[in-house]
Structure 1
Amino acid sequence: MPSTPDVKNELVRVVTPQVGERMSELATVLRLAGGLHTISGRIALEAELHTPPIVQRVRKDLAELYGVRSDAKQMPAASTRPGAPQFVVRVLDGETLARQLGLLDQKRRPIRGLPNRLTTGSPAELAAIWRGAFLARGTVTPPGRSASLEILCPTNEAAMALVGAAGRLGVQAKSREIRGQHKVLIRDGETIGQMLGIMGAVEAQAKWDELRKARETRNTANRLVNFDDANLRRSAQASVSACARVERALEILGDEVPDHLKYAGELRLTHRDASLDELGTKADPPLTKDAIAGRIRRLLALADKSAEQRGIPGTEANLPDELDSM
């Protein structure tokens, strides 16, 4: 099954020959994984990343697209928790780069969401935004009850920008604040597979869809089995109830029971597990389902009326206590 590292390892190998796609991906990575800091009066740009291949991809794009030299280092093990970013990429004199990327506005203030030019780009550039977002702060949970694709965002505005980009790609995503963190979520299994393919994780998409369909098939089979079991329980309950009431009816009426009703009642007791159709075929001469049901119904009604007149328990007095729990 595709895991988060599997998806990131595939995405980091995606070739993006178009400059616009590379710029969109890079700007999104730096926005979601980075921050702007003032060091000795200069604005430095930092990004905390998870794996060396992602670090190499970011540094390569910085050098080839913007001619910017960056530094990279691994964070001390004691300062990181499991699953957290392990590496830092830093551009010390990063103000010009931040302006070019759209991470600073004209008043030198960090933007709250994503650069406007990103979310109004072409479908390929929108896909690159999502690829960059996943490389920076994405996770995927395998198909099952809690299947999800999540992007952790620094602000609600950034989350809403990603939701808008997904919408323009024909994918429904939602923004949620969970325990103080802003997340973009895709919970539908089929839609997650679609987004994996859009980002460029084609192999992960194929594995995801295969696993999802296998789970759906198994769940459908389980539902059918449970449905059959429920039908069997209901049939058994109805049979027990009918036989108990018929026994009590024959007991109440005794010799007063009409022969044709007595015959139907005894037929019911002789073939306790048979359906009404089967009872009809076993009668001599054969009876229809409606005819046998009608006779049993009249037998019970006659017995209940007699019991009421005599002040004794009716046909339901014989129902077993455990019947409701069957």
Structure 2
Amino acid sequence: ANPDKSYHLEFTLNSDELSKLVIRYLKVFGIKAKSLEKKGQHIVYVKDSAMISDFLSLMGTVNSLFKFEETKMIKEIKNNTNRLTNCETANLDKTLNTSFTQIDAINTVYKKYGKENLDKNLLDLCELRLKNPTFSLKELAEVLNISKSGVNHRFKKIIDMANKI
């Protein structure tokens, strides 16, 4: 089968005895195969990509083996890239949602108490957040030269102040 879609090596045979024989021979070479019967045909198949590579190597089909391995590497790179992109997107979404919550709380606190009535540490954090809405807590902590948990603690104070209003 086309490895671009899935990894699948298949033998279609006309008897159960022959399918069992093929499975036994493959097992001798460390290739685990399964079988099923479909429309009177006996199908022996292998789904594991490493075992398919082993089979192609065993058969001496060097060009097919290289093409299979190339396709497998490209597919793996694409999958890893997609996985990393999805993870980065999720992290950015989480950072931005948290940032918007914090900015709303800051604006509420500013309206109620005024900037001048805030503790300097809280005010510095508020101003930094307003100027850098995409910064993570880690980045804010680095700029303020405090720990990430310190930033988180200060934001909890700001959010608590906003929620009391």
Q: State the one-letter code of the partner of 2:71.
A: L
Aligned to 1:136: none
Instruction: After TM superposition, give the deviation of residue 176 of structure 1 in Å.
Output: 1.9
Aligned to 1:199: 59
| 1:293 aligned residue (141, 148, 152) | 152
Please tell me whether the aligned partners of residues 150 and 186 of structure 1 are also in contact (alpha carbons under 8 angstroms): yes
Q: Deviations over 1:231-278 (max 9, x none)?
A: 222222222222223323444x43596434345334322332223344
- C-alpha change, 1:272 and 1:176, in structure 2 (3 Å) is same
Matched, 1:247 2:104: no
Q: Give runs of aligned pairs for residues 1-326 of structure 1, distance below 5 A.
A: 141-251=1-111, 253-255=112-114, 258-260=118-120, 261-280=122-141, 282-283=143-144, 287-304=146-163, 306-307=164-165
Instruction: After TM superposition, give the deviation of residue 229 of structure 1 in Å.
Output: 2.6
Structure 2 gap ranges (5+): none
Please tell me whether the aligned partners of residues 105 and 162 of structure 2 are also in contact (alpha carbons under 8 angstroms): no
- C-alpha change, 1:170 and 1:280, in structure 2 (3 Å) is closer
Please tell me whether the aligned partners of residues 262 and 299 of structure 1 are also in contact (alpha carbons under 8 angstroms): no
- C-alpha change, 1:215 and 1:178, in structure 2 (3 Å) is same
Please tell me whether the aligned partners of residues 155 and 182 of structure 1 are also in contact (alpha carbons under 8 angstroms): yes
Residue 98 of structure 2 aligns to a residue in which SS? helix
TM-score when normalising by structure 1: 0.43
How far apart in 1 are the matches of 2:91 and 2:74?
26
Aligned to 1:76: none
Q: Percent identity?
A: 28
Q: State the one-letter code of the partner of 1:268.
A: R
How far apart in 2 are the matches of 1:275 and 1:218?
27
- C-alpha change, 1:264 and 1:218, in structure 2 (3 Å) is closer
Instruction: After TM superposition, give the deviation of residue 301 of structure 1 in Å.
Output: 1.7
Larger Rg: 1
Please tell me whether the aligned partners of residues 143 and 211 of structure 1 are also in contact (alpha carbons under 8 angstroms): yes
The structure whose residues are more often helix, as a share, is 2
Q: State the one-letter code of the partner of 2:88.
A: D
Structure 1 gap ranges (5+): 1-140, 308-326
How far apart in 2 are the matches of 1:161 and 1:281?
66
Residue 183 of structure 1 aligns to a residue in which SS? strand
Please tell me whether the aligned partners of residues 106 and 162 of structure 2 are also in contact (alpha carbons under 8 angstroms): no
How far apart in 1 are the matches of 2:34 and 2:40?
16
Please tell me whether the aligned partners of residues 143 and 212 of structure 1 are also in contact (alpha carbons under 8 angstroms): yes
Instruction: After TM superposition, give the deviation of residue 163 of structure 1 in Å.
Output: 1.2
How far apart in 1 are the matches of 2:149 and 2:70?
49
Residue 170 of structure 1 aligns to a residue in which SS? coil
Q: Which protein has greater RCO, CA pairs closer than 8 Å, 6+ apart?
A: 2
Q: State the one-letter code of the partner of 2:73.
A: K
Please tell me whether the aligned partners of residues 36 and 44 of structure 2 are also in contact (alpha carbons under 8 angstroms): yes
- C-alpha change, 1:292 and 1:229, in structure 2 (3 Å) is closer
How far apart in 1 are the matches of 2:71 and 2:91?
30
Instruction: After TM superposition, give the deviation of residue 184 of structure 1 in Å.
Output: 0.4
Instruction: After TM superposition, give the deviation of residue 185 of structure 1 in Å.
Output: 0.5
CA RMSD of aligned residues (A): 2.7
